[in-house]
Amino acid sequence: MNGQQQINYHRIAEAIDYIKENFKEQPNLDEVAERVHLSPFHFQRLFSEWAGTTPKKFLQYISIEHAKKLLLNHQATLFETALETGLSGTGRLHDLFVNIEGMTPAEYRNGAKNLYINYRFAESPFGNLMVASTPKGICYMAFDEDEVRALNHLKQKFPNATFQQKSDPIQQNALFIFQNDWSTLSEIKLHLKGTKFQLKVWETLLKIPMGKLSTYGKIAEKIGNPTASRAVGTAVGSNPVAFLIPCHRVIQSSGNIGGYMWGNTRKTAMIGWESAKTD
């Protein structure tokens, strides 16, 4: 790291600390930029390069994490939560949750209450996995050799849902994909929770043909935000439905396989398996 890079690093680190410490005041771009002695334009560009998101988005993430703690602990009403988070009212709190979490504050507080989820464990060419479904579609799919751990991860995503270890046709249609029964792909329904950005990225992943690969940069271009490669990487890494949403088909522009939530060895095996099947 050269001298200028070190200076930039320390400036962004100072900006991040400032936002974390003062998020209740909801500082704007000009205020944070002035804190690190940069013009708003230069600061916005530099922050996005180093942090992988904009200062505004980072402030929103910090704000919503604080609000989530208040709501889950039932420490405050929605109005009190909004004020405690530095927002002017419940309307801004509502917009923040819908944009970031894909649900309203009340829905988040309920933690998927009244949601019924069936789950089962199954074998695949890439190891044991858990698949879970609601009446609307597959909501979760993950590789894990430890069934207790897998169930705990599922419950963390839907803390107040009602769970039943039960197989259903929605799950079975999804599992047919491992048996080369591609004719059922159109029958697979997904029930996803995510931000608008995440959903857009996941939708783009679904369009990568089997046996083909893409890069984070190409995904960013396809969603109309060519400078958002890092944010795309974060969204890809947040994929809640392994294999069906093929995040394993995304590699680095250098040709390196890149990371994978369920292990790089498994990702390499998936790419090879799909290539052989399509050949």
- Kindly list the catalytic residues: 247
Contact between 188 and 172 (Cβ < 8 Å): no
Whole-angstrom CA distances from 258 to 74, 267, 268, 274 are: 40, 9, 10, 17
- Radius of gyration of the chain measured on its C-alpha atoms: 21
CA 213 – CA 241 distance, rounded (Å): 18
CA 47 – CA 37 distance, rounded (Å): 13
Contact between 151 and 159 (Cβ < 8 Å): no
Name the phi and psi angles at 258, rounded to 5.
Answer: 80, 180
CA 211 – CA 188 distance, rounded (Å): 19
CA 129 – CA 37 distance, rounded (Å): 51
Tokens standing for residue 20 = 């974390």
